[in-house]
Chain A
């Protein structure tokens, strides 16, 4: 039977059986209508080689490696950071001992905002949401005993300061920076509109971001200088479609910024990486990753015409959705995380963080962090989902949804391109407003009960006592950190520090690449707060535009 007559047979059979393939009323979280049944009629237009191809080949819909997880499992990379460098180092070693395969370090809020631990604005925030880093000495303690040349290191940080401290520690140990592998988040747009953790306005952040890209392109072939983040936009409330649209628009803007700096597309685009959320709507999430890969391939091919297909290949890290976790009946969060992680794996992630069940109450305890790592290990080693690449390819539903997400995300990318790219879109508050409107819609749906949250708006129970120990960061750690900072300030060569900072200011003001000068400054003991203040002096300050 020919393809055509087969399709008309299916149409006839559906009619005879009275199947209507209803799509009304049931929507994905992005508002895409879902039918009650999908058939070959829904994938009629799909061209295997143009739209899917082989895993490891264009358009990369089916994944970025030919054999996917049979070749190598995703990196199991748990976000880690609290207290001072010692506490976090201990937790990192604990997670390594439990079998995690990559490092993922998060600094505390003062460090992220370029403030020292003794700044009055840092009061109560030191070591709470991440690890306190003020000087190179802290970074040394943080990375003590970790084999930087063997394990890939991800740093959830968006300016050159900690990146340079990391490089300085490697150099002290005689590890050439060329051999380091890992990822710096370094995403100026998410820190403006998603994570909201800026030191300076988006233009200045973008300049500093490109400094890292330029440095890595020349000296660090195994390091990802940028992780284009969708995670934070999603956590803040956007949809799966918007997550794809915002990240790919951001990625295009980074390529353009690199090209404007004088870099060849093929020299750095292959090292751009992405970071996605894994949320609740299982099939929509799987289709989201597949759509993102295909659309990125197409957009970069169309706009930059690179010679190396790897320039259009989207590799990504995934984190399960923190905002989906509930403080009520917190053990249910283990199941939520499992389903979300499975979506990321079926979507072909390169790296994964699974959240802990206690995260709607506090940062994770060691016990909770261990269970979330075990969740990945069970999926990797027991479930069999790793045995074949892109196992859901060809599913009428998944392919149809992949196409729909791609089309909708492309419209959003084009809209942002017309505005002048992602820089304009975050500067004019477009991204922030879109996200807030979706967050509001989701909250209303949850309140009305049309969006179910088990244990919260259905199957709720009277507030039970928490059956596990809640992680606490001892308040005395703040004092310990400030003492340590003061010790560095006392013992460093004041003249050298002043000179290095003056040089960095000159380099930054003249628009030159700041990485070497930042390295010199951190090596003589310049603090995160001093360099942060210098950034503000050179690039200005940024106010949250609000609602």
Chain B
């Protein structure tokens, strides 16, 4: 009882139109009792970070299936750092080869969920990560 409701921004950056994963995750997190803001397609890193601030979210989740993840994820990461928003948890998913996944984690990105990840894994990850130290 009394647990805080986490606010999550699910965003589709760049030009990628593959939004099945983002939409499915948004619905699953909502079902799990979180407040979810879903951006729709074609958001720039700046729009995403600004919205995260305005909406006062606990976490940002990005989905990229276009192969542009090594450009877009680091951009968002850098913006968060630049604006002193490192307390916002930054996670993501999409078609991301294992080497890139490792490289992104080394850059300090949070959980990355490739195809085949269950919704429960993502929910558990967010509950754990957001409950720690908050």
Q: Residue A439 at the B interface, CB < 8 A?
A: yes
Q: Residue B83 at the A interface, CB < 8 A?
A: no
User: In chain B, what residue has the closest Cβ to A449?
Assistant: B118
Quick check: which of B22-30, B51-59, B103-111, B126-134 contacts chain A, the rest being far away?
A: B22-30
Q: Residue B95 at the A interface, CB < 8 A?
A: yes
User: In chain A, what residue has the closest Cβ to B10?
Assistant: A547
Q: What's the least CB distance linking A129 to chain B, in Å?
A: 5
Q: What's the least CB distance linking A134 to chain B, in Å?
A: 15
B97–A436 touching, CB < 8 Å: no
Give the complex CA separation of A463 and B117 in angstroms.
12
Q: Which of B27, B41, B115 contacts A544 (CB 8 A)?
A: B41
B67–A128 touching, CB < 8 Å: yes
Q: What's the least CB distance linking B123 to chain A, in Å?
A: 10
Q: What's the least CB distance linking B7 to chain A, in Å?
A: 16
B39–A546 touching, CB < 8 Å: yes
Given known contacts A360-B95, A362-B97, A443 and B24 CB-to-CB distance under 8 angstroms: yes
B15–A362 touching, CB < 8 Å: no
B66–A125 touching, CB < 8 Å: yes
B95–A236 touching, CB < 8 Å: no
Given known contacts A236-B20, A360-B95, A473-B67, A447 and B120 CB-to-CB distance under 8 angstroms: yes
Chain A residues within an 8 Å CB radius of B17? 109, 195-197
Quick check: which of A47-55, A115-123, A286-294 contacts chain B, the rest being far away?
A: A115-123
Q: What's the least CB distance linking A290 to chain B, in Å?
A: 27
Chain A residues 73-89 with CB under 8 Å of chain B are none
Q: Residue B99 at the A interface, CB < 8 A?
A: yes
A470–B23 touching, CB < 8 Å: no
Chain B residues within an 8 Å CB radius of A124? 14, 67-68, 70-72
Given known contacts A124-B71, A360-B95, A436 and B66 CB-to-CB distance under 8 angstroms: no
Chain B residues within an 8 Å CB radius of A8? none
Q: What's the least CB distance linking B114 to chain A, in Å?
A: 5
Chain B residues within an 8 Å CB radius of A327? 95, 114-116
Chain A residues 504-547 with CB under 8 Å of chain B are 543-547
User: In chain A, what residue has the closest Cβ to B69?
Assistant: A124
Q: Which of B15, B16, B20 contacts A235 (CB 8 A)?
A: B20
Q: Using an 8 Å CB-CB cutoff, how does the interface string of B1-37 with A read, 1 for contact, 0 for none?
A: 0000000000000111111100110111000000000
Give the complex CA separation of A440 and B14 in angstroms.
23
Given known contacts A235-B20, A439-B20, A443-B119, A470 and B26 CB-to-CB distance under 8 angstroms: no
Chain B residues within an 8 Å CB radius of A325? 115
Give the complex CA separation of A259 and B44 in angstroms.
41
Q: Which of A326, A440, A444 has the most CB of B within 10 A?
A: A440
Give the complex CA separation of A261 and B40 in angstroms.
34
Chain B residues within an 8 Å CB radius of A456? 116
Q: Residue B42 at the A interface, CB < 8 A?
A: yes
Q: Which of B41, B68, B99, B114 contacts A125 (CB 8 A)?
A: B68
B116–A113 touching, CB < 8 Å: no
Closest 9 CB pairs of A and B: A124-B71, A544-B40, A196-B17, A128-B67, A124-B68, A546-B40, A109-B15, A544-B41, A456-B116
Which residues of A line the B interface, CB within 8 A? Answer: 109-110, 112-113, 115, 121-125, 128-129, 195-197, 235-237, 323, 325-328, 360-363, 436, 439-440, 443-444, 446-447, 453, 456-457, 463, 465-466, 470, 473, 543-547
- What are 26 of the A-B contact pairs (CB < 8 Å)? A109-B15, A109-B66, A112-B15, A122-B15, A123-B68, A123-B71, A125-B71, A129-B66, A196-B18, A237-B20, A323-B20, A325-B115, A360-B95, A361-B95, A361-B98, A439-B20, A439-B23, A440-B27, A444-B119, A456-B116, A465-B98, A473-B67, A543-B40, A544-B41, A545-B40, A547-B38
Which residues of B line the A interface, CB within 8 A? Answer: 14-20, 23-24, 26-28, 38-42, 44, 66-68, 70-72, 95, 97-99, 114-116, 118-120
